[in-house]
Structure 1
Amino acid sequence: MDEGVIKYVGHWTPGAPMKEAELTELVAWRDRMWQAQQIGLYPNGIGYGNISLRRSAHSFAVSGTQTGHLAQTSVHHYTLVDDWDIDRNTLHCTGPIQASSESLTHAALYDYSSAIRAIIHVHNRPLWQRGQGVLPTTAASVPYGTPAMAYEMMRLLNQEDLMQTRILIMAGHEEGVLVFGPTLEAAAQVLYQHM
């Protein structure tokens, strides 16, 4: 089982959580996604789904690794990703928890366009199945959380109408669907429109 495993070289500086006011929207949307069973925990104990919000030109707040089982999260379940290098497969975060295993993918999208300010990665089997090849779809051979997936995001952004649809299917990541937008609400609306 390859799910839920961090594949980038993570450099984590343990630290205090971000201020509650900085995370209110992120916590609220993540917990809504959990209630809707778009983020959660499989029976085998592997968590799925993650969410992030741009903080600056070169940083974003993201849900921590292995938090999918939590019905409710707090500031202690998020970290600040403040440096990454896709070519070298490295990522640095600071906070009370290590960043999600999908954080390198989030970083690639934030690198691509300043218009991307919020990302929600969910698992939704029906949407994943019917969306493959219909919506922008990553190659099935590309595993999640790797530089290859980051480059695949770039390919889709350059070759598809992904900036307009703001939704993609991760063919090589069972049930994986990713939406993004200028706000978390806008990203969630894209997901709801396709469910």
Structure 2
Amino acid sequence: MSFDEGVIKFRPHWIKSNLADFALASEMNSWRKKLYDLKLIGAYEGDIGFGNISMRVGEGLEFLISGSGTGNDDWTGTQHYTKVIDFSLEKNSVTCVGPIVASSESLTHALLYAFDPKIKVVVHVHHRALWTSLVNKIPTTQAHISYGTVEMAMEVKRLFNETELKKTRLFAMAGHPDGLISFGSNFAEACQLYFDLL
């Protein structure tokens, strides 16, 4: 595939350190493995990884997210996750603390957590058949908007305000081939949306 999959488009402020949230990362890892086994997270030719998952930490806006470029790893550990502690749409920046820089889709995850305190997890997958069957039939971002950008984050805000996204908890990304994002109060809820469609 000749597109810019996996490229970080925000300004990363990475504070390199060990990850302290071992229990949360372990829970995320078990769900990521299920998604990986179903090829919802993985890699295109050339080892270009796709897909990422995140989980809110506590009641604030901090969240753990899989690191950039980890989609092609069949096994992940705590070294593959990082904590986003701050973000700015105005500055197009994400600040993360951990052993790896945050995923390229971190701004979209961050904005979803900011929209609704009931959202505890966000799951971004790729699946050509699912995407083809769902694009423009469920809430869908506009085709000219690229992934991982401030524009994408604002487009998700538009979907939240103008469509049934709060109810469906799943949207397609028209300008990001194969890309789907779900969210929920836990991983079972967010992932089941995909499992039911496969």
TM-score band w.r.t. shorter chain: over 0.9
Name the counterpart of 2:11.
9
Q: Which amino acid aligns with 1:102?
A: E
Shift of 1:20: 2.1
Matched, 1:177 2:176: no
Q: Distance in 2 between matches of 1:45 and 1:95?
A: 23
Shift of 1:23: 1.5
Counterpart selection for 1:44 from 43, 46, 54? 46
Task: Give the total of aligned pairs.
Answer: 195
Matches of residues 70-109 of structure 1 in structure 2 within 5 Å?
70-109=73-112
**Structure 2 residue matching 1:65: 3-state secondary structure:** coil
**TM-score (structure 2 length as normaliser):** 0.96
Matched, 1:61 2:68: no
**TM-score (structure 1 length as normaliser):** 0.97
Q: Distance in 1 between matches of 2:137 and 2:169?
A: 13
Name the counterpart of 1:25.
27
Shift of 1:144: 0.2
Give the RMSD, CA atoms, in angstroms. Answer: 0.9
Q: Distance in 2 between matches of 1:188 and 1:62?
A: 15
Matched, 1:135 2:138: yes
Q: Deviations over 1:49-106 (max 9, x none)?
A: 0000000312000000011111111011000000001122111000000000000110
Name the counterpart of 1:151.
154
Task: Decide which moves more: 113-122 or 20-29.
Answer: 20-29
Percent identity over paired residues: 42
Shift of 1:149: 0.3
Q: Which amino acid aligns with 1:68?
A: G
Q: Distance in 1 between matches of 2:21 and 2:168?
A: 32
Gaps of 5+ in 1: none
Q: Distance in 2 between matches of 1:112 and 1:194?
A: 26
**Structure 2 residue matching 1:194: 3-state secondary structure:** coil
Matched, 1:186 2:189: yes
4+ residue runs of structure 1 moved beyond 3 angstroms? none
Q: Which amino acid aligns with 1:49?
A: G
